[in-house]
């Protein structure tokens, strides 16, 4: 029984550490992303508010992004998902945005 408890605590510590590391690196998502949609160019600004909240701003308004896993965030009020892409040096270079509410399957936006 003691071994099971110790194992469970170790697993919890690893999970908490991984989540803390992901959140510590959220600054790397911050920036301006340019996307093209229906022959229009749109700029989406990703900002970090406080220490733990990412938000996306565009001409359509603002949405708070909820962490959903490494390099993946959701904005559930619109059925939206943002998945950040990295290059071979592990730098964030782009993101893919999907929004179910307006039937957008996946639009890629390049980081500026």
> Could you tell me the residue ranges of all domains in the chain?
26-111
Provide the 8-state DSSP code for 62. Answer: E
User: What pLDDT was estimated at residue 68?
Assistant: 95
Higher pLDDT among residues 55 and 39, named by residue: 55
- pTM score of the predicted model: 0.74
Q: What is the pLDDT of residues 6-17, one digit of tens each?
A: 333 333 333 333
**Strand blocks (E) in the chain:** 31-37, 40-49, 53-58, 61-69, 72-75, 80-86, 92-99, 104-111
Q: Is the pLDDT score of 37 beyond 80? A: no
User: What pLDDT was estimated at residue 36?
Assistant: 85
Q: For tokens 């959903």, name the residue.
A: 68
**CATH class of domain segment(s) 26-111:** mainly beta
């Amino acid at each position: 029984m003691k071994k099971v408890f110790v194992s469970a605590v170790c697993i919890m510590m690893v999970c908490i550490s991984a989540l803390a590391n992901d959140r510590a690196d959220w600054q790397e998502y911050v920036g301006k992303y340019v996307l093209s949609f229906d022959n229009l160019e749109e700029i989406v600004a990703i900002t970090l508010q406080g220490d733990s909240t990412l938000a996306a701003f565009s001409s359509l308004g603002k949405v708070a992004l909820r962490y959903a896993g490494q390099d993946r965030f959701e904005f559930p009020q619109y059925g939206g998902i943002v998945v950040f892409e990295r290059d071979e040096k592990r730098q964030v270079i782009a993101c893919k945005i999907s929004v179910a509410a307006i039937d957008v399957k996946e639009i890629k936006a390049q980081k500026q």
